[in-house]
Amino acid sequence: MGKSDVLIYDTTLRDGTQGYQISFSAEDKLRIARRLDEAGFHYIEGGWPGSNPRDMRFFKMAKEIEFKNARLTAFGSTRKPGLSPDDCPNIQSLLEADTPAVTVFGKSWDLHATEILGVSLDENLSLISDSVRYLKSKGKEVIYDAEHFFDGYKNNTQYALKTIQVALDAGADNIALCDTNGGTLTWEMDEIFKEVMSLIAPEYLGVHAHNDCGVAVANSLSAVMLGVGVVQGTINGYGERCGNADLISVIGNLDLKMGKKCLPESSIRSLTSLSRYVNDIANIPPLKSKPFVGNNAFAHKGGVHVSAVLKNTKAYEHTDPELVGNRRRVIVSDLSGKSNIEHKAKELGIDLGKDSGMSKKIVRDIKKMENEGYQFDAADGSLSLLMRRAIGRFREPFSLESFRVIDEKTGNKSSHSQSTIKISVGEEYEITAAEGKGPVNALDNALRKALIKFYPRISEMHLVDFKVRILEGSDGTAAKVRVLLESRDDSEEWTTIGVSENIIEASWYALIDSMQYKLSKDNETDNLQEENE
C-alpha cells in the first residue's frame, strides 16, 4: 500500500460496540477486522482486553491472523491509582493482548480527575506519564487518547495542555484529542487545535470526535485540513449515544472531495459493500439516507431532477456513485414524469419500446395506485411487475383460487396459525395446508408448499423483512394498511408491496408479487441462457 496523507484508525470493534443494539461476538469482530485489513485501514482497535472475556478471546484468536496492512491495537486505561504499571491489571492486560500498538486513555478534564477518578491533578499527570513510559519500554507503539480534551481545555486550559505534554514527553507516538461528549462545534475545535499545534507538531496529533451535535464528520475533516494526520472513528458511525465520526463519510470526503489519500482506490470503490457488510454482521438495517453509500444517496424522484440527470449527472449529483461502489436510482412515485419511467425501466432491464404513450400510461397507473395507498419508491419488485404487465411481457405463473387462514389462541398458550390454499398453474390445481408462527407466516408456508411442485427454484428465496404501516389512523383498527416485504435469493434482493384494509389481504398481495417477481426473473435468466447457447 502506498503512502497515505491521512491514517485511518478504526474503533468499530471497541467504541462502536457501545452503541445501542450493537453487539459483536469474538468471531464477528475477527471477520470485521479481516475485512478492514483487506481494505487497507491503518489501525484496528480490537477492544478493551481488561474489561471482558470476549475481547480477550478476540485478541487470542487474532494472534493466529497475519494482518497485512493494519496494526491491531488494544485499548485500555492508564494505571489504577495506587498501583504501579507492573501490578496494574489494566496495563498488564494490554501486554497480554500482544498487539503491536496499544491505546491508553487518560483524563484531560480536571473535573474528571478530581470528581470522577478521585485523584489530585498531580497524581493524574503521574498516571498518564507512568503508563505511557512503561508501555513504550515494552516495545509498543503507544497512542494516547486525551479523553474529554476539548471540555477540559475550555474549563482549565493550562491543565489540559499539561496532560498531553506529559504523554508526549513519556514517549507517546500519537496524541488523539477526544471530543468525548460530542459537544464541541467545528469553529471551536479549530481554534483549540491551532493553539495545541503551537506547542505540538500536527504529525503527532489525532482526532476522535463524537456526534452528539451532528458535526463529528465535519470536525474530523476540519482537523485534517489543519494538518492532523490520524482520524479515529467507526464504520457507519456506530457508538454510544449519537455515535462516533462515521469513517465511511470521512473516507469518502477525504478521497473524493479533499484529495487526501487514505485508502487504496479499490477500497474507496468498495465503501458501499464495506458499510453493508458491517451492517449485516451487526444485524442493523442500513440507513437509506447515509451519504455516499445509502440506497437513497443517489436516488432521484422529482421528474425535473430525473430529466436533468439524464442529460448531465452533475446537475443533481455531487460525485459519481460508482466511485464508492453505489449506483444511481430513479424513484417512481406520483411525482414521476415520463423521464422517471423510462430511466427506471432501463434500470430494471425492461424495454418499453419507442412508443411514448406506454410511459405515459404507466405514469397514470402509478399515480392512480399511489392515490390508493401504494408507494413504489420502495418497492422495485412490484414496480417491475407493473411495467411488465403494461407492455404484455408478463405471464401469470399461477392463479389464486382461494385461501383460508385460521389463527387460534387458547388461554395463556401461544397462538396457533394454519393456512389452506388452492392455486392453479395452467390446467392443474393444487391444494395444500401449512402451519406458521403467525397468519402471514402460515400463508407464506402454504403458498411455497403449493408452488414448489411446479417451480422448484422457489425454495431459493426467503423473506428478509416484513413491515406494516397504517396509512391513515382515523379509522382505527379498520384503517387501510401498507405491507412491504423484502425478499432475497442468491443473486438479488427485492421489495414488494400490498395495500388493503385487511392486513392479511395486504400481506397476500405483497407475498404473491414477491413470488411472481422471483419466477419472472428466473424465467428471463433461463431464456437468456438458451439464446446464448
Alpha-carbon distance 11 to 44, whole Å?
6
Prediction pTM value: 0.71
Report pLDDT for 476: 64
Report pLDDT for 337: 59
- Options 3.20.20.70, 3.30.70.270, 3.40.50.10470, 1.10.10.10; CATH for 7-263 is 3.20.20.70
As annotated, the residues of the chain forming the CATH 3.30.160 domain(s) are: 398-454
Q: b vs e for 249-267, b when ≥16 Cβ sit within 10 Å of the residue's Cβ?
A: bbbbbbbbeeebbbbbeeb
Report pLDDT for 111: 94
Report pLDDT for 1: 43
Interval 195-217: pLDDT, tens: 999 989 998 999 999 999 999 99
Alpha-carbon distance 146 to 150, whole Å?
9
What spatial distance separates the first Cα and last Cα of the chain, rounded to whole Å?
43
Report pLDDT for 17: 93
Separation in Å, CA 293 to CA 42, 290, 413: 21, 6, 45
Angle at Cα 528 formed by Cα 523 and Cα 531, nearest 5°?
130
Interval 357-413: pLDDT, tens: 788 888 888 878 877 888 776 688 888 888 888 888 888 889 999 999 998 887 777
| Residue 477 DSSP class | G
CATH of region 398-454: 3.30.160
Alpha-carbon distance 20 to 13, whole Å?
14
Task: For cell 396509512, name the residue.
Answer: 471
Contact assessment for residue 215 and residue 185, using Cβ atoms and an 8 Å cutoff? yes
- Select from 468, 527, 518 the least CA-distant residue to 489: 518
Report pLDDT for 332: 62
DSSP string, 387-398: HHHHTT----S-
Report pLDDT for 109: 94
Task: For cell 501486554, name the residue.
Answer: 95
Separation in Å, CA 407 to CA 268, 418, 463, 500: 50, 7, 21, 19
Handedness of CA 395, 398, 399, 404 (dihedral sign): negative
| Entry field: residues in the chain | 533
As annotated, the residues of the chain forming the CATH 3.20.20.70 domain(s) are: 7-263
The identity of residue 410, as a single letter, is T
Contact assessment for residue 235 and residue 290, using Cβ atoms and an 8 Å cutoff? no
Handedness of CA 75, 80, 86, 90 (dihedral sign): negative
Low-confidence ranges of the chain (pLDDT < 70): 1-2, 301-307, 309-310, 330-340, 355-356, 377-378, 472-478, 524-533
Alpha-carbon distance 454 to 398, whole Å?
10
- Select from 349, 332, 381 the least CA-distant residue to 484: 381
Handedness of CA 397, 440, 464, 437 (dihedral sign): negative
Task: For cell 487474532, name the residue.
Answer: 62
- Contacts for 394-402: CB closer than 8 Å, 24+ residues apart: 394/516, 394/520, 396/516, 397/425, 397/454, 397/455, 397/515, 397/516, 397/519, 397/520, 397/523, 398/423, 398/424, 398/425, 398/451, 398/454, 398/515, 399/423, 399/424, 399/425, 400/508, 400/512, 401/429
Estimate the share of the chain in helix, then strand, then coil, as percent rounded to the nearest 5.
45, 20, 35
